[in-house]
Amino acid sequence: MLELKSPENERSAIHIPEEVSNLQVPFNGSFVTQDGDEYEVKNNIVDLLEKDPAFASIALSTNHWKLTASIYEDIWRKRSLSLLSGEDFPIEKEHELLIDWTAPKAGGLYLDIGASTALYARALKAAQPKADIVAVDFSTQMMDEARMKAEADETDMYLVRADARELPFFSKTFDGAVMGGTLNELSEPQKVLYEAKRVLKEDGVLFMMHLIKSDVWYGRLLQESVGIGGITFWTVPESNDLFKNSGFRVDKQITRGIVCFTRLIPA
């Protein structure tokens, strides 16, 4: 069972039964809190947002297109790190680091924030089938695609459509959280990091993959132009200030080209 915090009343819980995470069996229905607020589950996706949030940028709005969702993982995501790091960086290598630094444990609960097609969420479940995984994104199209991919892989997980600026979980719920490339796209990164820190247990871990500012002029020029579309890049010290100001301590960090991996722990 997964316990969610109601977006309407922060002391109210919504209990989602385990069967909702079994993506082999379609689940449709609704859950009501003790205060009478009702939330729908459509095709196993728990929907806590009545409508799409207002888009703060072009980058955020494109994540709500069906076309972006359907090509994102296979056409872009799986090859992206080799292009961005300037070296051979297959997805398997990224997953190895994800699992090594997150170390999902049996009986643990893990959160993929801004999961898109739930690539990290699936990798965590594959590495530790006895852990429970929750994938959150505010794009219906991405959650639908995540559901399809997880069902095809026979991977169980909870899919929750919600806004990461107000994560629908009680404090100290998760053993670990992961964010793959999401930070750069957030309209309010500090707020999301605060939320990540709040929902993590004291001995929890946040695995972060994000893109940093390029140190060559043509790279910076390109980044400035995508910046107009709503993607932000920081230097490593700037990112680390952001993490520190959100209550995290950098435990491990490596960069490859403009790709930065960080293992963050609550300070």
Ligand X SMILES: C[S@@+](CC[C@H](N)C(=O)[O-])C[C@H]1O[C@@H](n2cnc3c(N)ncnc32)[C@H](O)[C@@H]1O
Where do contacts with ligand X occur on this chain (CB under 6 A)? 60, 63, 77, 114-116, 119-120, 137-139, 142, 163-165, 180-182, 185-186
Least distance from ligand X to the Cβ atom of residue 28, Å: 22
Q: Closest CB to ligand X among 35 and 56?
A: 56
Least distance from ligand X to the Cβ atom of residue 57, Å: 9
Q: Closest CB to ligand X among 163 and 175?
A: 163
Retrieve residue 76's tokens. 């872009």
Q: Closest CB to ligand X among 6 and 122?
A: 122
Q: Closest CB to ligand X among 139 and 232?
A: 139
| Cα angle 51, 184, 245; round to 5 | 100
Least distance from ligand X to the Cβ atom of residue 36, Å: 26
Which residue in the shown chain puts its C-beta closest to ligand X?
A: 180
Q: Closest CB to ligand X among 102 and 116?
A: 116
DSSP string, 174-190: EEEEEEES-GGG-SSHH
Closest CA relative to residue 111, chosen from 139, 134, 143: 134
Least distance from ligand X to the Cβ atom of residue 223, Å: 15
How far apart are alpha carbons 168 and 263 in whole angstroms? 23
How far apart are alpha carbons 190 and 246 in whole angstroms? 6
Number of CB atoms found within 10 A of residue 93's CB: 15
Q: Closest CB to ligand X among 230 and 266?
A: 230
Least distance from ligand X to the Cβ atom of residue 81, Å: 10
Q: Torsion over CA of 77, 112, 184 and 204, rounded to 10 degrees? A: -130
Least distance from ligand X to the Cβ atom of residue 70, Å: 13
What residue spans of the chain are helical by DSSP H?
58-62, 66-71, 78-85, 91-102, 119-127, 140-152, 189-199, 217-228, 236-245
Q: Torsion over CA of 148, 151, 152 and 156, rounded to 10 degrees? A: 130
Retrieve residue 6's tokens. 């109601």
Least distance from ligand X to the Cβ atom of residue 62, Å: 9
Q: Closest CB to ligand X among 32 and 71?
A: 71
Q: What is the DSSP letter of 212?
A: B
